[in-house]
Chain A
Amino acid sequence: MKFLSGGAAQGLVGAVARAAKVEVEGHFGAVGAMLDKFKAGEPCDIAILTNAQVADLTAKALVIPETSADLGSVPTAVAVLEGAELPDVSNESALRAAMLAADGIYFPDPARATAGIHFAKVLEQLGIRAQVESRLRIHPNGATAMKAMAEAGGNPIGCTQATEILATPGVRLVQPLPHGFDLETVYTAAVAAGSSQAKSAAQFVARLAGEEARAARIKAGFRGFAIRAAHAGEAGDVRELVHQVLGEYGLSADPQGVDADLENIDAEYAERGGFFDVAIGPDGEIAGCCGIYPLDAQTCELRKMYVLRDARGYGLGGRLLRRALAFARGRGFKRVELETASVLKEAIALYAGAGFEPIRRAHLAERCDQAFALTL
């Protein structure tokens, strides 16, 4: 199986591939460099990149849309040598002091690696870039930076994606960068449109993002919510989620009418050329959903965008919407419509932010009083 993957997913891919007896080939490194290889036509079955990059590839139909699945988000974190006292980096002044106290600062490519780009900014933000310039140890990616640090000795400090720290023997994770300096990157896996073994690649992605690998993902350093296509057996949980959110806003479900599509999600969405996504929380429970329902060859409808109250404020709505729009573009739809209710203020703000504009529709569902559309 050929991968083009951000270095952040290397440890997890290795662990899951070993158990599944899948041979891993390809490249793992700075996501910018991997994306360049992908676009240059390097052979690839599975791409694992940031969710924004995968959304872009989905919209351009360069990956198979329904295979794309989040692995979770990875914080950019601070590392020290194994056995060293863990420095305090829980606030700005502590972080600055820890950086100044180190005799070498190890991090990945500040031009093409997610953590490298970010950490270069952190050094500027801390106002110590010039002071530490001679101690900066820049490596092509996080894995090579951590490996070099482990071999360095002395009193080094490092900064890269948590997953890369956890995958490197000899270094320890101190903690994610503190509030105000933090970065959280969602990684998404998808099967390349040009894969010669798309079926087994899709199975591997499903395994990487599936329930059975949840403990492995967490041990590897992934956290937070992950969005993927709903499974056939999840319709009941989706209905429960939708009813719960509707209830919260004083609206009621309509299983015979507008909510009939939730009785058989596969038949109503995937089998008609649309799709239905679910967001899974770190505890394995469904926390959000969103579907694209084809109306005709040109037009689709965004439906069932719901996020549980406890899961709001993490940008989940934006992630669901971005995936939905990328999917619609990738499938060649020219226009997305939706209906909603005025009380769903957060959702409406989200649609407006994405460029949706109010339209008039002849018939609205009973609980809806507004309609919007976006030309893709």
Chain B
Amino acid sequence: MTSRFALLLATALVAGLVLAQPQQPEAEPAAPAAPMSSAAERVYELARPRILQIRTLLQAAGRQTTIGSGFLATADGFAITNYHVVSQFALDPRTYRLEYLAPDGARGPLQLLAIDVPHDLAVVKIDRADLPYFTFDTRALGGRLPKGERIYAMGNPLDLGFTIVEGTYNGLVDKSYDERIHFSGAINPGMSGGPVAGNDGRVVGINVAKSLGGESVGFLVPAKFAATLIERARKGPPLVIDKAREEVGRQLDQWQAGFFDALRTQGFRNTLLGPYRGLESAAPWMSCWANTNADQVQKPRASMSGTRCSSATGIFVSDRILTGRIDFSYSYFKSQDLNAFQFARELSQRARGSAADGDKRLTEQECRDDFVTTAANRPPLRATWCMRAYREFEGLYNVTLMALTQDRDREALLGQLTMQGVSHANAVSLGRRFLEAIEWAR
């Protein structure tokens, strides 16, 4: 059971990355859809005039850069899409602009009214009020949709026109911090932001991601978050487009504050590796894997066994930044035929970590290296704290903390805590607990 979830989440995480990229215009067309059921045909007829294609264009060239889907949700032209479909415009409104393509072939400018970055939603408005619109399924809003119900995912990707995919509502994803609906059905990239509706055409969720691999597993944002965002767009302070970046930063900060509060509330537990103990989160949305080098063909010169627990969270910020994940990983090394000097060299190479990529939205990685002893009865550690700041979002960082035990010649524990999009206070607080929890088990 556990490994099945782990696998599912592993792919879900990657899928977030994949589908989070709105379809590039030059991408391969999707495979032709399977023949439609009569129910699907009915939903198709109902839905078609209510679905939009949402295009991001370069201001200067007027060329489209990405395409996603959206759907009309009010009589006066409010439409829902994914935040990731409009993120380029939100973060850089001087370089990009938004345009819609209606099913009747009309096109026009789109106004960005509200965003919900953690749930990956946005409200946009078209410049006309004569089109029919979707309503939300009240059972879905109240969390009363039965599992196994037939639902239909729709989108308007590329120039293929309208796409409809039949599938099943499978409840909420078990191990998820932010609510996601588990959809059994083959949603395609480019359908991002499109609606998912029941037999009666009422919306239960919004396409957001799909699983990689052969299985037809998709993920939807529950409709209630879209309903709330429309309310906010109508009643809340208007989104000033030149300040949208600040709003993204504010939402990321608020999300991480809540996430770390919940993480601390759910508590921690110990994990045992060789003669050492380390700290893991006990939160139900963490997924853990074990790994080893024992099955490597060539006889390893040092044996390694480890665990890695990762939060199944991933927030799309821009095409280069996926944030909001936290990882606890430990590797226990034991020398097979390395002498103390060779073993230490091997370990220090691993403890150096990976070089950061050159993403311009983050500052250069800065690292600090220290030898620390957290208590007299605990192993001394070499601790390396590496940090990168988000240039556009003040007060948020990607932090990696590595701790390598220094007490034995031929065995050692390497712990690594990775936190994405975290405030300094949260990073320091959890980092301290992480270091203090590394101790001898015997």
Q: Which residues of A contact B (CB under 8 A)?
A: 16, 19-21, 75, 77, 82-86, 88, 90, 162, 165-166, 172-176, 207, 210-216, 218-219, 221, 223, 282-285
Interface residues of B in 300-352 (CB under 8 A from A): none
Contact with A211, one of B1, B171, B261, B264 (Cβ below 8 angstroms):
B171
Is B142's CB under 8 angstroms from A19's CB?
Answer: yes
Contact of A221 among B175, B265, B284 (CB under 8 A): B265
List residues of chain A with CB within 8 A of the CB of B428.
85-86
Evaluate contact between A215 and B176: CB separation under 8 angstroms. Answer: yes
Using Cβ atoms and an 8 Å threshold, which residues of chain A touch B171?
211-212
| With contact pairs A75-B267, A85-B425 given, residues A215 and B172 touching in the complex (Cβ less than 8 Å) | yes
A166 touches B429 (CB 8 A): no
Closest chain A CB from B437 CB (angstroms): 9
B429 touches A75 (CB 8 A): no
Known interface pairs A85-B428, A283-B174; A223-B264 also in contact (CB < 8 Å):
no
> CB within 8 A of A90: which of B176, B177, B285, B433?
B433
**Residue of B with least CB distance to A79:** B261
**Which residues of chain B are within 8 angstroms of A173 by Cβ–Cβ distance?**
261, 264-265
Residues of B within 8 A of A285 (CB): 1
B149 to chain A, nearest CB (A): 13
Say yes or no for B141: interface residue by CB 8 A criterion: yes
Which residues in A have their C-beta under 8 angstroms from that of B177?
215, 218-219
Asked whether A21 and B142 contact (CB < 8 A) given A90-B436, A166-B261, A212-B172, the answer is yes
Query: What are 9 A-B pairs with beta-carbon distances under 8 A?
Result: A21-B142, A86-B428, A90-B436, A165-B261, A166-B262, A173-B265, A207-B142, A212-B171, A216-B179
Residue of A nearest to B5 (CB): A283
Question: A34: shortest Cβ distance to chain B, in Å?
Answer: 23
Instruction: Flag whether B144 is at the interface (Cβ < 8 A).
Output: yes
* CB nearest to A208 among chain B residues: B143
A283 touches B433 (CB 8 A): no
Interface residues on B, range: 20 to 34
A284 engages B174 (CB within 8 Å): yes
Q: Give the contacting residue for A172; candidates B143, B261, B432; CB below 8 A.
A: B261
Q: Name A87's closest neighbour in chain B (CB-CB).
A: B429
Interface string of B240-281 (1 = CB under 8 A from A): 000000000000000001100110111100000000000000
**Contact among A83, A166, A210, A282 with B258 in the assembled complex (CB-CB below 8 Å):** A166
Q: Is B107 at the interface (CB under 8 A from chain A)?
A: no
With A84-B425, A166-B258, A166-B262 in contact, is A176–B267 under 8 Å at CB?
yes
In whole angstroms, what is the CA distance A88 to B435 when docked?
13
Excluding A85-B428, A90-B436, A174-B264, 8 further A-B contacts by CB distance (< 8 Å) are A19-B141, A77-B264, A85-B425, A166-B262, A207-B143, A212-B171, A215-B172, A223-B265
> Contact at B143–A20, with CB atoms within 8 Å?
yes
- A175→B264 contact, CB < 8 A: yes
Smallest CB separation, B154 vs chain A (Å): 23
B432 / chain A contacts, CB cutoff of 8 Å: 88
Asked whether B50 is an interface residue with its Cβ less than 8 Å from the other chain, the reply is: no
B178 contacts A by Cβ under 8 Å = yes
Contact A86 B429 (CB under 8 A): yes
With A20-B143, A90-B436 already in contact, the answer to whether A283 and B265 are too (CB < 8 A) is no
Q: How far is the CB of A9 from chain B (nearest CB, A)?
A: 15
Write out the residue numbers on chain B whose beta carbons fall within 8 Å of the beta carbon of A284.
Answer: 174, 284
Closest chain A residue, CB of each to CB of B284: A282
Choose one: B265, B283, B426, B436; the contact of A75 (CB below 8 Å): B265
**Distance between A156 CB and nearest chain B CB, rounded to angstroms:** 16
B224 within 8 A of A: yes
- The CA of A77 and the CA of B283, in the complex, are separated in Å by 16
